[in-house]
Structure 1
């Protein structure tokens, strides 16, 4: 069972598509900018190559780890010490095969991973940084959508 590099790449790139829509001024972009005190002028001063380049690296890192969160067969392989020829793993795969390898199942696991990992992390930071509820909701909502989509892509793409 090898990792599908193309699925990971597409999952990472999906974060840009979601971000383009999510942070559009007609969706949450204007509210988000107001909440963090960002202006158009200040935004234009940022190093876009650095920002988008590192954003892709971070999205890729997240997508790279998603299989362990959304694909049950990865857990079975891990229990077999990563040995695809392990008799117990082969028996598991013979009985279960690619059961639960679907876009919907991956989306479900991606959603719960974001809800129980990302949201508490963002919320804790927002509490200490005294950020508004709006900011926390917009930022958390983005990551919920991204990780749900990433989970769907990673798990469903065979």
Structure 2
């Protein structure tokens, strides 16, 4: 059961650090899987870089803000449903991933007739990225003023 009392205290430093960690992990992940990802979406690197609307600052900014929002939700649910620990943060993140990310992406991929390999790359990143953020926001408790 979710406790909506004032016991939830968002630690904005933890959220920011978790978002940056996820963002950096994402950069590494998609660097490693770049060729397979491009093949999966039916594009080339040249197309990607020359595409109309290609704006790296907007893309990276969106990725960072989205990661911060996800980290804040993981933090809130972790605190609202039990003790705040790294392991609980990881578990909450994994359950949110199963309940929302995997299910929505799997449905989208089935109707778009995309490959399981591409689903594995994209959804796999989010599983590990969300678990990373869960570990950070779960472990990093906000200091209470005396």
Q: TM-score range by the shorter chain?
A: 0.7 to 0.9
Residue aligning to 1:9: 16
Residue aligning to 1:119: 102
Contact 1:69 1:110 survives alignment (8 Å): no
Given the alignment, which residue of 125, 134, 143 partners 2:126?
A: 143
Residue aligning to 1:64: 72
Given the alignment, which residue of 20, 28, 33 partners 1:28?
A: 33
Separation (CA, whole Å) in 2 of partners of 1:141 and 1:153: 19
Residue aligning to 1:55: 63
Residue aligning to 2:88: 105
Separation (CA, whole Å) in 2 of partners of 1:60 and 1:52: 12
Q: CA deviation at 1:105?
A: 2.1
Residue aligning to 1:41: 46
Q: CA deviation at 1:150?
A: 1.0
Q: CA deviation at 1:125?
A: 0.7
Gaps of 5+ in 2: 1-6, 142-146
Alpha-carbon RMSD across the aligned residues, in angstroms, is 1.6
Separation (CA, whole Å) in 2 of partners of 1:70 and 1:147: 12
TM-score when normalising by structure 1: 0.76
Contact 1:7 1:153 survives alignment (8 Å): yes
Q: CA deviation at 1:44?
A: 1.6
Q: CA deviation at 1:31?
A: 0.7
The worse-fitting range, judged by mean Cα deviation, of 62-71 and 4-13 is 62-71
Separation (CA, whole Å) in 1 of partners of 2:45 and 2:112: 23
Q: Secondary structure at the match of 2:84?
A: coil
Aligned length: 131
Q: Which of 1 and 2 has higher RCO (CA within 8 Å, sep 6+)?
A: 2
TM-score when normalising by structure 2: 0.82
